[in-house]
Amino acid sequence: MSFHADKLRVTPGEGFSLEDYDSAETFDMSKRNAEKEVEDHVKELADLHDLLYAENKRALLIVLQGMDASGKDGTIRHVMSGVNPQGCSVTSFKEPSTRELEHDFLWRIHAAVPEKGSIGIFNRSHYEDVLVVRVHRIVGKQVWQGRYEQINAFERILAENDVCILKFFLHISREEQEKRFQQRLHDPQKNWKISPNDFREREYWDEYQKAYEDAITRCSTKEAPWYIIPSDHKWFRNYCVSHIVVKALQSLHMRYPKANPEIAGVKTGGRTTSR
């Protein structure tokens, strides 16, 4: 079976269930081939990022969401390894500060949107305000339900102002999460990443799945689509995300700016250069 990113894209206006997506899916791709493809994608992404930076007309926003241990950090580390840090930022949205709570929930998000010519990555995002606040009843139902349309309006404004938005839900099974938790517990280099709260949150697995289904259904739009990324296999997760990001940047048909006419005839080292 060949890979088609459209199979992972949630169609706007249509409901869906995460149970219909196999978190261990690989579309019959081998690990060896996928890892080779990722290497190629990383190199191409570096070139496309350079082009995005030089053209300075658009920005790319990548949103990563998923259950604990779904691989948000790993995706960033592997897929974005070739981009120039000068034009790429990663923002992790944790519990809002007192100052942030004094503003609307999108205030801190808008401040982190990448500028033109740059790539911005959200490790968790504004969607936490229709997920964790819903599951733990931090705000009332009327409040979080009203945020779906506010999110859509916000993302539409970004798209209309030349921000390309890609949203990835890193889909893992409950069994795979347990396996990764256990690995972290027994690996001295990883056990700092796990806390008792991570295990407590597992008790709300079903509630989070429902919250994600509703958020993705309500907020997968033409301007800002959601992709469900099978993530039980880390190598396939990296392949899917890198493939979609590269294709999205290619679709922008970017061009390097023309040389400044004033450069023509400039003398360097006693010789006249022309272009």
pLDDT at residue 193 is higher than 60: yes
The token pair that represents 118 in the structure block = 């740059």
- What are the distances in angstroms from CA 32 to CA 28, 71, 218? 12, 20, 37
Q: Give me the mean pLDDT over the 236-258 stretch.
A: 97
- CATH superfamily, domain 5-254, is P-loop containing nucleotide triphosphate hydrolases (3.40.50.300)
**Stretch 90-108: mean pLDDT:** 96
Choose among 178, 63, 60, 75: nearest CA to 131.
Answer: 63
- DSSP letter assigned to residue 9: B
pLDDT at 203 over 50: yes
How far apart (Å, rounded) are the C-alpha atoms in residues 64 and 61?
A: 10
* Cβ atoms 102, 204 nearer than 8 A: no
- 105-154, pLDDT tens digit by residue? 999 999 999 999 999 999 999 999 999 999 999 999 999 999 999 999 99
- φ, ψ at 175 (rounded to 5°): -65, -40
What pTM did the predictor assign? 0.93
Average pLDDT of the chain is: 93
Question: How far is 31 from 35, CA to CA, in rounded Å?
Answer: 6
How does pLDDT run across 53-82, given as a tens digit for each residue?
Answer: 999 999 999 999 999 999 999 999 999 999
257: three-class secondary structure by DSSP: coil
CA distance 27 to 23: 11
Domain spans in the chain, listed from the N-terminal domain onward: 5-254
pLDDT class of 231 with cuts at 50, 70, 90: very high
pLDDT of residue 269: 57
